[in-house]
Amino acid sequence: MRAFVSDIHSNLEAFLAVLSAADEVGAKEIICLGDVVGYGPNPKECIDLAAKRCRLSIMGNHDEAILFATETEGFNLRARRAIIWTRAVLEDPQERRKNDARWGYLGKLSNRVEDHALLFVHGSARLPVKEYVFPEDIHKKGKMEKIFAAIKKVVFQGHTHLPGIFTESGKFYTPEAVGNTYQIGDEKVMVNVGAVGQPRDGDPRASFAVFDGKRVEFRRVAYDLEKTIEKIYAVRELENFLGDRLRLGR
Ligand SMILES: [Fe+2]
């Protein structure tokens, strides 16, 4: 059984809670679908933990923006300020050797990884780092057809921070709608595993998914979000809103 995590966004408390939950359910390996950093207060710790615990890590748009200073187009001001702050933290000369390893980790992230009929990306099968696939996109037939054409059978993705299943026949199911489990059938599907560190579906608990080869199970874990919020408040470059939204899961 594999656990899929995504959009950790430098939220150490949420990441630790998800890793223990994944261990508890007996996940043999953890796959990270990108955005380890950005928005949150613990970029170094989250990179170190992802490097240690994740069998495989995919490049997210925030990871890419931190790696290539030129890639901050398309981000709003608060995201951009968080990216600039994160880069400064990773350039701290006091921790040169550790930071070299962290840049090395970011530099080795893959945009997409195929594993037989499975595909792992951050955004979409078509544009792996940047494209969003939102629930309402089921009404955009052309977009969905083109993305499904790039999928063999199942793609695991993140990026929107909204967990759920998209089917080739044009449906979107929230985890709630399917009782948190979805059996892979004949249809191609996209599985969004939600966000560890900044959920946006109204549930503040950290989100992840496990997969046994046939069945996807969506899971939520409560964590000490007040601790994360306090840390965000303490960093001038991270807007308080980035903390406040964790309470709401928005
Ligand atoms: Fe993200």
Give per-residue pLDDT as tens, 34-82: 999 999 999 999 999 999 999 999 999 999 999 998 767 789 999 999 9
The kind and range of the H/E element at 34 are: none
Q: How many A from CA of 46 to the centre of ligand 1?
A: 14
Q: How many A from CA of 174 to the centre of ligand 1?
A: 18
Q: How many A from CA of 132 to the centre of ligand 1?
A: 10
Look at residue 73 in the predicted model and tell me its pLDDT: 76
Give per-residue pLDDT as tens, 170-224: 999 999 999 999 999 999 999 999 999 999 999 999 999 999 999 999 999 999 9
The kind and range of the H/E element at 160 are: none
Q: How many A from CA of 115 to the centre of ligand 1?
A: 23
Q: How many A from CA of 194 to the centre of ligand 1?
A: 9
- CA 28 vs CA 57, 119, 176: distances in Å: 15, 18, 25
Q: How many A from CA of 161 to the centre of ligand 1?
A: 6
Q: How many A from CA of 234 to the centre of ligand 1?
A: 22
- The residues whose Cβ lies within 5 A of ligand 1, an ion, are 7, 35
Inter-residue long-range contacts of 210-215, CB under 8 Å, 24+ positions, other chains counted:
210/1, 210/2, 210/3, 210/4, 210/22, 210/25, 210/27, 211/1, 211/2, 211/3, 211/4, 211/156, 212/1, 212/2, 214/183, 214/184, 215/181, 215/182, 215/183, 215/184
> Rounded distance, CA 26 to CA 110, Å?
26
Q: How many A from CA of 143 to the centre of ligand 1?
A: 21
Q: How many A from CA of 126 to the centre of ligand 1?
A: 17
* Cβ(80)–Cβ(74) below 8 Å: no
* Phi, psi dihedral angles at 218 (to 5 degrees): -90, 135
Q: How many A from CA of 6 to the centre of ligand 1?
A: 8
* Cβ(164)–Cβ(135) below 8 Å: yes
> Rounded distance, CA 183 to CA 214, Å?
6
Give per-residue pLDDT as tens, 116-168: 999 999 999 999 999 999 999 999 999 999 999 999 999 999 999 999 999 99
Using DSSP, state whether 215 is helix, strand or coil. Answer: strand
Look at residue 29 in the predicted model and tell me its pLDDT: 98
Q: What integer best gives the mean pLDDT of the chain? A: 97
